[in-house]
Amino acid sequence: MTCTFFGHHDTPDSVAPRLESLLKHVIEADGVRKFYVGSQGKFDSLVKHTLFKLKESYPDIVCYAALYTFVKKDDFDVPFEKILFDGWEYAYPRFRIDYRNRCMLKDSDMVISYVISSYGGAAKYTNMARRQGKAVYNLADNSAENFPDGALIAEGFVRKG
């Protein structure tokens, strides 16, 4: 299984422990082994560092830094394999992040998000994932609806879609 992430650029650090618990759950219970992580904002940074830490306990997981354009070698602070999806160079520069996000979503079975508003890119792609029938966990949503694991409900995780 493959998981991707969408979240706000100003996600609080307080999300990190919940993110780590949820990642352990999807690795152990759902068999997720491949992760696509973006390269902008606080949420992506939290995800990158959490996955890097978890690679010590789960060496079989594969993490990709999903880029939207070429970057210098030093521009990414964790040693993930970098990936540019085919066709990115044909996207108008303003729409390359959108192209990258759609490619990540297309190749994923599950989305973990941190979405607190109904507008913006994180909300757009999280809603797109729901419409496509993908499993979606929103770390910002504390309701217990549609969540498969009672232990995670107690921690405030929600799976929708």
* pLDDT tens figures, 95-118: 888 888 998 999 999 999 999 988
Ranges of each domain in the chain = 2-160
* Confidence at 79, pLDDT banded by 50, 70, 90: low
CATH class for domain 2-160?
Answer: alpha beta
- Asked if the model's pLDDT at residue 145 lies above 60, the reply is no
Closest by CA position to 85, among listed 127, 19, 54, 39: 39
Whole-structure pTM value: 0.83
Residues with Cβ within 8 Å of residue 123, at least 6 apart in sequence: 115, 117
Share of the chain above pLDDT 90, in %: 52
Average pLDDT over residues 67-77: 60
Closest by CA position to 107, among listed 86, 80, 78, 137: 86
Can you tell me the distance from the alpha carbon of 45 to that of 73, in angstroms, rounded to the nearest whole number? 17
Between 145 and 17, residue with greater pLDDT: 17
Can you tell me the distance from the alpha carbon of 36 to that of 44, in angstroms, rounded to the nearest whole number? 10
pLDDT tens-digit readout, 34-49: 999 988 889 999 999 9
Q: Contacts for 138-142 with beta carbons within 8 Å, 24 or more apart?
A: 138/113, 138/114, 139/7, 139/15, 139/18, 139/19, 139/22, 139/112, 139/113, 139/114, 140/15, 140/113, 140/114, 140/115, 140/116, 141/115
In this prediction, residue 142 carries a pLDDT of: 65
- At 56, list the tokens: 């010590």
What's the one-letter identity of residue 38? G
The values of phi and psi at residue 119, to 5°, are -130, 165
* Confidence at 82, pLDDT banded by 50, 70, 90: low
